[in-house]
Amino acid sequence: MFIYKKLNKYSKTKRLFIMSIISMIVLTILEYITDNLIELVFHTLFWDYSNFKFNIDKYIKKIPNTITYIISFIFIINLVLSIIRISSLK
């Protein structure tokens, strides 16, 4: 919420884009921490990306993650716009 208040000076489109980038970064960090904890607690790797080209310490594949975030962003934007259109018809 703090970040969102700081972004009030930007237009809605820019705010949405900036928040999605911040979300992408936060989720990647969360994924990295979670994967490390899983390996620490269970002493096993549930997935290993060490043989892929743009991996981060064998836990995160950067290119597929980025593509997933972009597709999710497009889906969410379309969903939000559809909800706005439907609510404006009432």
Spatial distance between the Cα atoms of 28 and 57, rounded to a whole number of angstroms = 12
What is the pLDDT at residue 3? 67
Instruction: Reply yes or no on whether the pLDDT at 1 is more than 60.
Output: no
Choose the weakest-confidence range: 16-25, 56-65, 81-90. Answer: 56-65
Spatial distance between the Cα atoms of 80 and 68, rounded to a whole number of angstroms = 18
Structure confidence by residue, pLDDT tens digits, 37-47: 988 999 888 77
Q: What is the mean pLDDT of residues 43-57?
A: 77
Spatial distance between the Cα atoms of 11 and 1, rounded to a whole number of angstroms = 17
Spatial distance between the Cα atoms of 36 and 58, rounded to a whole number of angstroms = 10
